[in-house]
Structure 1
């Protein structure tokens, strides 16, 4: 493992939750951070404690032009970009049938298109230096779809597919990509980071069952542990394309992968019979 310091980070959703933890870890390592968020007021204490090394940037990642301006401001301030963390996002909860078009598009505008706009804005700077590391903060929701988080999972599945392609496209320029898949952390994802649909009475029974399961509770981890893992990936000469954070998400990843493989194997004969290459019909 080697480290290159000081580095410059561009972190979206930097004012709270995991984004705040990533920002604190980078500053503790002696790096500089352009911390972007809709509300940067919570970053005032960090900016005061690290004068010149934290640049708070008020930013809505769904605004493509604003994203480009923020990235340019960060480069003008620090002179370079090394690590980009696409962390901004929110959770829209509800049954798929309940979502309005506006609610569905809002989920993708932030979680997918926001990450895309940031990625497009930073790539010219990273390509020019032929180095850099882009971290896409995904979720356990990208490993499987769950009732009431279908649109959120869909956005994270989309983010991961986009990021796999990005990794292949950026590799020739020396730019690395890591998809980070966190499990449960004590953040405000289920409070200020949560949006909910208008409940349909037809799903009342399922909602009650899900509420019962949630009431059993879970013990999440401190965001600082996720930041420690991310720092190890950033410091690595050979970071992974995917990084699972937590035992629970690790077990879910393997269980869902095995389930898919078992299903594929059970239907192998049908799958193979669906292919019989022939010349193009006239």
Structure 2
């Protein structure tokens, strides 16, 4: 009989975090579900009273994260799969964003995930095992107008996570950067902070709106089976794109970037470094 795993999932009250929480519970695992507002988890907690612990937590508060992780580890005696999923979207052009908005955004999307990783590592290292899934985005490989700071936070988390993977693998801890495609998570509604729009960018905004359209994407529940399979792999990849269409787009972007480098190879080689 397979032993039930213990998950610690941030941003668990809605979207992808909620879908991952429900999938883990359905598989017979136990979950500590962290969110700023745990009220949306009440019915789920009633349905799984012995397997789900809602944990109010603001991941931007480093002290609260360390205290919360200690409570999470104590709840079921261990942590097996940590999913750094909490995040939001800062929508607006680079020039428009205020210092307060930028710092608040990165406090959650980048530093919040770092605080969680730092807090869980002593627990995972002590037990000699564990998985950390760092939820980034399929767009983290490059910037896109109007969502530059979202991409910046995810790209930084991606880079830090690759370093983390190298550092903790000797302790039996596996880290995977999970590059999520576009799912209907409510990110562009509940999870969005918008800048004060400058009129100069009106034409670009209209162009982007037409390019993106109104399709919300598939439901988060369709991504959950991939996360469950990933968490069970004995040797997981350090990076994984989640979504077939997103995989194709990432490959297309990679080819375009490689082509750009090659086009300017001669100029690059004029410097000796």
**For this structure pair, what is the TM-score category when the shorter chain's length is used for normalisation?**
over 0.9
Unaligned runs of 5+ in 2: none
Shift in Å at residue 257 of structure 1?
0.9
Find the counterpart in structure 2 of residue 190 from structure 1: 188
Contact 1:98–1:197 (CA under 8 A) maintained in structure 2: yes
Runs of 4+ in structure 1 over 6 Å off? none
Matches within 5 A, 1:86-165: 86-165=84-163
Alignment equivalent of 1:262, drawn from 243, 253, 259: 259
Calculate the aligned-residue CA RMSD, in Å. 1.3
Matches within 5 A, 1:162-241: 162-214=160-212, 216-218=213-215, 220-241=217-238
Shift in Å at residue 259 of structure 1?
1.3
The separation in 1 between residues aligned to 2:222 and 2:195, in whole angstroms, is: 32
Shift in Å at residue 4 of structure 1?
4.9
Contact 2:139–2:250 (CA under 8 A) maintained in structure 1: no
Shift in Å at residue 46 of structure 1?
1.1
The separation in 1 between residues aligned to 2:30 and 2:269, in whole angstroms, is: 53
Secondary structure, aligned partner of 1:97: coil
Structure 1 pair 116–186 and aligned structure 2 pair: CA distance change class (3 A): same
* TM-score of the aligned structures, taking structure 1 as reference length: 0.94
Q: Deviations over 1:146-178 (max 9, x none)?
A: 110001000010010000000000111010011
Find the counterpart in structure 2 of residue 31 from structure 1: 29
Shift in Å at residue 204 of structure 1?
1.3
Q: Deviations over 1:235-259 (max 9, x none)?
A: 1111111111112210111111111
The separation in 1 between residues aligned to 2:137 and 2:200, in whole angstroms, is: 29
Contact 2:90–2:194 (CA under 8 A) maintained in structure 1: yes
Alignment equivalent of 1:246, drawn from 243, 246, 251: 243
**How many residue pairs align between the two structures?**
273
* TM-score of the aligned structures, taking structure 2 as reference length: 0.97
Secondary structure, aligned partner of 1:11: strand
